[in-house]
Chain A
C-alpha cells in the first residue's frame, strides 16, 4: 500500500545553521508533494509544494528537492530561527487522488 515515511523523528539544529528534513514515499504514482509545518495547538501550515515534473523548488529560506528515482523528498531550511521549531510533515497526492497522505512528522528543535 501507499505510505509516506520520514527517516528521523527528531532533529536539533543550532540557530542560524541550515536544516534538512527527509521524507521517503512509496507510491510511484504520486504527482504532488507538500511540506507542512505544525506548531503546537495549531493546524498544519503550508510551506512549499512541488509537482513530479520538477526536481527542485525554492521559496523564502526553504527549498524542496524531489528525487523520483529513489522516491525521496527533502526540505531544506536555511539560516534557521527559533520560530522554525515545529513538527514538519511531508504529504503526497497522487494524480486523480483527492486525499493527502501524510507522514508521521519530524520534530525540529532550534537551539538558541
Chain B
C-alpha cells in the first residue's frame, strides 16, 4: 500500500516567488495536515483539512494557504516567499480528524 506521497521532494525558489506543494494521503484517509519543520526543530502545525473543510490553522501568516480536493489530496500554497520559509514541509494523513497521523517524506524548500 502506498503511504503519504508528497511532491516535489526538493524545490529551490527565489524570494518573493510563489510555491505550491502537493500531498496525496493514504487511500481512505480523509484528513490531511501540513507541518513546517525548520532544521533542528520539531514540526510546527500549519493547517488541517478534513472532508475538504479547514479544521485547524496554526500561527502562520496569510501568505500560507491550503485546500483539499474531492479525492482528499491537498495543496499548500505559499506566496511572497521569504528566506525564513526555507524548511521541510510535511504532510500527514489520518483516517479521522485527530486520529493517528502518518507522515510523508516531506518537501525540502530552499528560498534563496
Contact = CB atoms under 8 A, between A and B. Distances in A.
Interface residues of B, number: 25
Contacts, number: 60
A105 B42 CA distance: 6
B100 interface: yes
Interface in B59-112: 90, 92, 97-98, 100-106
B56 A99 contact: yes
Interface residues of A, number: 24
B103 A44 contact: yes
Nearest to B105: A43
Given A102-B42, A104-B41, A104-B42, A42 B105 contact: yes
Interface of A: 4, 32, 34, 36, 41-46, 49, 89, 91, 93, 96-105
Given A97-B98, A100-B33, 9 more contacts: A43-B4, A44-B43, A45-B103, A46-B102, A89-B42, A98-B97, A98-B98, A103-B42, A104-B40
